[in-house]
Amino acid sequence: MGIVSSRPQINSKLKFVTSFLHNPKLKENKTILAIWLVTAAITVIAKLIIGKFNNYKIFEGVYNHAIHGLTLYGPYPEEYGDVNLYGIIFSFIISPFAILPQWLG
């Protein structure tokens, strides 16, 4: 009996979701861009607050190690908690971002 009584709730929720997703405003480029930008901003802010941007630290380290003539593939546990898998060409591709402050890079 509990299952039968909850079906109208499920159907009404499904109708709401379906009508929301079929809203013409969601198909406009401005809306899609706004959703994408808000999602990206929330993700970046969350990563900065939590402090989990290890990939960026690796990318920055690749550049710094390359310009100082250090090995690119050695462990640097005091800088980042992983190892670099990228080569020397990547270090120069990432260089514009590596010279920026961490909060901006």
Domain coordinates of the chain in residue numbers?
Answer: 2-50, 54-98
pLDDT per residue as tens digits for the range 25-43 = 888 899 899 999 999 999 8
pLDDT at 102: 73
In the prediction, which pLDDT does 90 show? Answer: 87
Give the pTM.
Answer: 0.51
Report pLDDT for 40: 94
- What was the pLDDT predicted at 105? 62
**DSSP of the chain, one letter per residue?**
-HHHHHHHHHHHHHHHHHHHHT-GGGGSHHHHHHHHHHHHHHHHHHHHHHT--HHHHHHHHHHHHHHTT--SSS--TTT-SS-----HHHHHHSHHHHTS-TTT-
45-83 pLDDT per residue, tens? 887 787 777 788 888 888 889 999 998 888 888 888 888
